[in-house]
Structure 1
């Protein structure tokens, strides 16, 4: 007697298609600007992009200030401290 074991795939066809699409999108992503290499590296797009005004994340600003304050402390093991933020009441 021969026993045959069929294993169910971890992902169905639709899930596999989504994962393949994600892998292809990630492979085409610039690590610097997160744009699509297939678009942003075309010779005809030279000069197409202009820098815009920067945006400030105020929460990141508070975290950066907190990190600076931690570095300025004369505390033992300052590397064990991490900045936190709270919203003003």
Structure 2
């Protein structure tokens, strides 16, 4: 008879349980704590929103929109960073 060590130790399982509990406290929309970002619309806090642009994604979308090759769904896109000079 062969005896094997379990893939997950008791400590591993405890950590995964703790992670699951922590994630259950997070808002699925913004990733913030549910108790901070959800409340009644009239009595809750207000938030200031700011935005920045992911230039990598912007470049990808620009290239995809300019694509004229046949079967565009078959194309694989890759990132190529260029150094600034």
| Structure 1 ranges of 4+ moved more than 4 A | 5-8
Q: Mark the structure with the bigger radius of gyration.
A: 1
Q: Please report the RMSD computed on the Cα atoms of aligned residues, expressed in angstroms.
A: 2.6
Matched residues in 2 for 1:84 and 1:8: separation? 41
Which structure has more relative contact order (CA 8 Å, sep 6+)? It is 1
- Give the alignment of 1:17-28 within 5 angstroms: 17-28=14-25
Spell out, residue by residue over 1:8-53, the C-alpha distance to the aligned partner (whole angstroms, 9 max, x if none). Answer: 443222211110111112222222111121332245x72332212x
Residue 6 of structure 1, CA deviation? 7.2
Task: Note the residue ranges of structure 2 that are not aligned, 5 or more in a row.
Answer: none
TM-score (norm 2): 0.70
Task: Note the residue ranges of structure 1 that are not aligned, 5 or more in a row.
Answer: none
* Aligned length, in residue pairs: 81
Matched residues in 1 for 2:82 and 2:6: separation? 50
- Give the alignment of 1:5-24 within 5 angstroms: 8-24=5-21
Higher helix share: 1
